[in-house]
Amino acid sequence: MTSSADSPPAANVTMTPADARAAFRGGRVVPTAGYCAGFAQANLLAVPADYAFEMLLFAQRNPKSCPVLGVLEAGAVSSELLAGGDIRTDIPRYRIYHDGDLTAEPTDVLSEWREDLVSFLIGCSFTFEAALLTNDVPVAHIEQDVNVPMYRTSVPTVPAGRFSGPLVVSMRPIPADRVADAVRITARYPSVHGAPVHIGEPGALGIADLGQPDFGDPVEIAPDSIPVFWACGVTPQAAVMASGTPLAIAHAPGYMLITDARDAAYQIP
Amino acid sequence: MTSSADSPPAANVTMTPADARAAFRGGRVVPTAGYCAGFAQANLLAVPADYAFEMLLFAQRNPKSCPVLGVLEAGAVSSELLAGGDIRTDIPRYRIYHDGDLTAEPTDVLSEWREDLVSFLIGCSFTFEAALLTNDVPVAHIEQDVNVPMYRTSVPTVPAGRFSGPLVVSMRPIPADRVADAVRITARYPSVHGAPVHIGEPGALGIADLGQPDFGDPVEIAPDSIPVFWACGVTPQAAVMASGTPLAIAHAPGYMLITDARDAAYQIP
């Protein structure tokens, strides 16, 4: 329901990361699941330099939800993860937080940018979805053409300085006879959230209704499937909201940075 | 040559981490290889808070040499990795750097401590030596009862802010028919340097003479063995020396913090 009519899935899948970033820079606004198969997608969180140590420490202490793929130091807007790109324009949709409150969801952040912003690129579970599909494990939100559902949980993160807040998870319903495969396959990608943090029993995570995600869209869950939860790179956004950081710039959940890094680079033997 | 007569190896191996830290706090000064089998050992690097983000970023960008096991925030002298302990006294020997120069090697740092010091605990390859021994792969410096030899290389690290410098490696001679096993076994421990960075050919690392290590002691290399090199947690000390940080406190190479974390916690499947 969110993909544009002029970008058929097949073309998205085979697009290069540079071409995808150019398309988003040029105005295409879609969730990025299924784009550029084989290339790693990343969450963005940019905070003022005064908060940078605490955010990097928060990531170090919560590695399942915040695996750091790269850091753009204060003033930098590009890196080898987005060669020739610009972190301020190359994501389809952003979120701006002032004092912890979501204030805007623009498609670029050129007018909000400050020279003291440090940008953290954090692994995204979209990265391992190609591996699930290659192994014929279905990915419901891609099949249903919606954004992945994400939920705030009742599980606290490990605080770091001024940052704390709940673990955020993404959910994929997996056929019961493929759940073990999904664990095995995603465990090979510890840098992009790795194995699930929780399988079944959403109530135990404090999730009252799977049909009402906190971020993204609900998905239909087939009768033979159970909900499987992975740590999500939106977790640091929840920490920003909880901590009231004066300014933070993030991607809109599901609308990721597509990097030049290959998924395979994050796969362990 | 550096172990004390009143601490036979068997007693060291089975000692608890808390007892080992108490012994070091009480004045025992020995390299820690072989101590407390099954528990992770750690490198220390403490820098002023003004340098903390750049040091954590340096670690993030050089994960093979600087795998972060924990961070004690400014003012903290203990953590769950050394329960009931004190980072200023529980390491057998320290190194103090002023403006990048080594100025002292005391057995505690109580008089040098500052409230703004942030302590980084970095994984140590001593952690996987127990796994090598369990698999009958010999560890020469333990057999010869000396400190592990470490070398500055000609391989640069990835800089972060004011930190840059050479990769430092530890070297273990391994029988040629066990090198593949040593790779396989240590690769299971990515948080404590993991697989070797280099096998054979010390000249290609810029090491002119294996008999003259930059840190630690030389070891005898049996005719059937070849030198195998692992990334070493002394690397950030080399970065401190190269960058001229006004103050830094580190462990003396080979004289590690013994933590309460089990080696198994850092083992991947």
Q: What digits encode the pLDDT tens for the residues B78-99?
A: 999 999 999 999 999 999 999 9
Per-residue pLDDT, averaged over B151-159, amounts to: 97
Per-residue pLDDT, averaged over A115-133, amounts to: 92
Q: How confident is the model at residue A96 (pLDDT cuts 50, 70, 90)?
A: very high
Q: What digits encode the pLDDT tens for the residues A138-172?
A: 999 999 999 999 999 999 999 999 999 999 999 99
User: Which token pair is B1?
Assistant: 């040559």
The answer to whether the CB atoms of B60 and A52 lie below 8 A apart is no
User: Which token pair is B217?
Assistant: 């002691």
Task: Give residue B9's pLDDT.
Answer: 61
CA separation for the pair B224, B174 (Å, rounded):
8
pLDDT at B127 over 90: no
- Poorest-confidence range of A136-145, A202-211, B78-87, B120-129? B120-129
User: Which token pair is A126?
Assistant: 């979209």
User: A124: number of CA atoms within 13 Å, CB side?
Assistant: 32
Residue B115 burial (CB count, 10 A) = 9
CA B245 to chain centre: 20
A73 or A75, which is more confident? A73
CB pairs under 8 A between A and B: 33
Quote the DSSP letter at residue A81: G
Chain B residue numbers touching A57 (CB-CB < 8 A): 56, 71, 73
What phi, psi does B153 have (nearest 5°)? -110, 175
Mutate which: A50, A51, A56, A162, vs B, most B CBs within 10 A:
A56
What phi, psi does A107 have (nearest 5°)? -95, -5
Q: What digits encode the pLDDT tens for the residues B8-35?
A: 567 888 899 999 999 999 999 999 988 9
pLDDT at B242 over 70: yes
How many angstroms separate the CA of residue B209 from the nearest CA in chain A?
34
Chain B residue numbers touching A60 (CB-CB < 8 A): 56, 60, 68, 71
pLDDT at A4 over 90: no
Cα separation of the two ends of chain A: 37
The answer to whether the CB atoms of A71 and B57 lie below 8 A apart is yes
pLDDT at B2 over 80: no
The reply to whether B60 touches chain A by the CB within 8 Å rule is yes
CA separation for the pair A231, A211 (Å, rounded):
19
How many angstroms separate the CA of residue A219 from the nearest CA in chain B?
32
Average pLDDT over all residues of chain A: 92
Distances (CA, A) of B6 to B10, B15, B107, B219: 11, 14, 19, 23
The vertex-B187 CA angle with B197 and A64, nearest 5°, equals 110
CA separation for the pair A129, A131 (Å, rounded):
5
CA separation for the pair A22, A42 (Å, rounded):
16
Q: pTM for the complete prediction?
A: 0.87
3-state secondary structure of B249: strand
In chain A, what's the furthest Cα-to-Cα distance? 51
Chain A residue numbers touching B265 (CB-CB < 8 A): none
Its ipTM equals: 0.81
Q: How confident is the model at residue A127 (pLDDT cuts 50, 70, 90)?
A: confident
pLDDT at A214 over 70: yes
SS3 content of chain B, % helix, strand, coil (to 5): 30, 25, 45
Q: Which residues does A16 contact at the CB level (< 8 Å), separation at least 6? A: A36
Task: Give residue A130's pLDDT.
Answer: 85
Mutate which: A47, A50, A53, vs B, most B CBs within 10 A:
A53
B127 or A244, which is more confident? A244
The reply to whether A158 touches chain B by the CB within 8 Å rule is no
Which helix (H) or strand (E) covers residue B58, if one does? helix B52-61
Q: What digits encode the pLDDT tens for the residues A35-49?
A: 998 899 999 999 999
Cα separation of the two ends of chain B: 37
The reply to whether A80 touches chain B by the CB within 8 Å rule is no
The answer to whether the CB atoms of A73 and B161 lie below 8 A apart is yes
Q: How confident is the model at residue A9 (pLDDT cuts 50, 70, 90)?
A: low
Nearest beta carbon to residue A56 from set B60, B187, B269: B60
Beta bridge partners of A166: A156
Task: Give residue B247's pLDDT.
Answer: 96
CA separation for the pair A268, B213 (Å, rounded):
32
Beta-strand (E) ranges in A85-181? 94-98, 101-104, 117-123, 150-156, 166-175
Task: Give residue B154's pLDDT.
Answer: 97
Task: Give residue B1's pLDDT.
Answer: 40
CA separation for the pair B269, B188 (Å, rounded):
7
Q: Report the helix count and the strand count for chain B, using DSSP H and E.
A: 7, 11
